[in-house]
Chains A and B, each alone.
Chain A
């Protein structure tokens, strides 16, 4: 809505890249045994990825104790063809907010860490490009 005010609650600096820096969000993850993933991740924000949180195949091993049935895995169209992603349940904590989310990783391949629209759409984000800051926000 035009004129709406957003209050930035927590901001992270963009990460450096070859040409243009990119926004990231910090996320803590837990598997279905409620074990904490050993690393707090800083994951690139990727609105071009329709899914939830993509992880590498190695990361994904940790979440296999909460996998969805194979018939619920997903397929993605990419420039190199269709990729099948395994899908598992996880608990995510982002700046004090807790969500039950899906994590995904390629059935064949290596994968990468990306935060897609399915998860981003649960958050109010302000991307301050000139200041290179990605902020979790609330509406005033």
Chain B
């Protein structure tokens, strides 16, 4: 199809054409790739991978909690697996090249209700 875009920034279009040439792409192919990239990331771009992993955890919590005592691993915004052993977790995390992961043990990891103690915080001994 033929697409006409009005009022686009000349500078941006110039850079876009130059980049397409550098990558050996026609302008239409470069445009399609840019659209694909934008569509695939736009829903995730506003949250960090940490937030995204936490969101997945919250969505799957009910299912996850059935695996009492096991290790449930979430990374890259998806459930990576349920494991019995830390060695298997390490292998799985390396395979997906995780930068951040949630490793949760249902029934073992307990939410702490209330506020804990840290008596000495901010106390500094200074000479009189």
By size class, the interface of chain B is 35 or more
- Which A residue sits closest to B94, measured CB to CB? A33
In whole angstroms, what is the CA distance A17 to B58 when docked?
A: 45
Bits for A74-96, please: 1 = Cβ < 8 Å to B, else 0.
11111110110000110100000
Bits for B79-122, please: 1 = Cβ < 8 Å to A, else 0.
00000001101100110001111111000011110111111111
Contacts of A89 in B (CB 8 A): 103
In whole angstroms, what is the CA distance A46 to B57 when docked?
A: 33
Whether A77 contacts B118 in the complex (CB less than 8 A), given A32-B90, A34-B86, A34-B90, comes out as yes
In whole angstroms, what is the CA distance A41 to B16 when docked?
A: 50
The answer to whether A91 touches B125, judged by C-beta atoms less than 8 angstroms apart, is: no
Measured CB to CB, the closest approach of chain B to A131, in angstroms, equals 23
The answer to whether B102 touches A76, judged by C-beta atoms less than 8 angstroms apart, is: no
Whether A67 contacts B121 in the complex (CB less than 8 A), given A74-B112, A76-B115, A91-B86, comes out as no
Residues of A within 8 A of B (CB): 17-19, 32-34, 46, 48-51, 64-72, 74-80, 82-83, 88-89, 91, 100, 116
Q: Can you add 14 more A-B contacts, CB < 8 Å, to A64-B50, A65-B101, A66-B89? A: A32-B103, A48-B117, A50-B117, A50-B118, A65-B75, A65-B98, A67-B101, A72-B104, A75-B114, A75-B115, A76-B116, A77-B117, A82-B115, A83-B118
Residues of B within 8 A of A (CB): 50, 54, 57-58, 75, 86-87, 89-90, 93-94, 98-104, 109-112, 114-123, 125-127
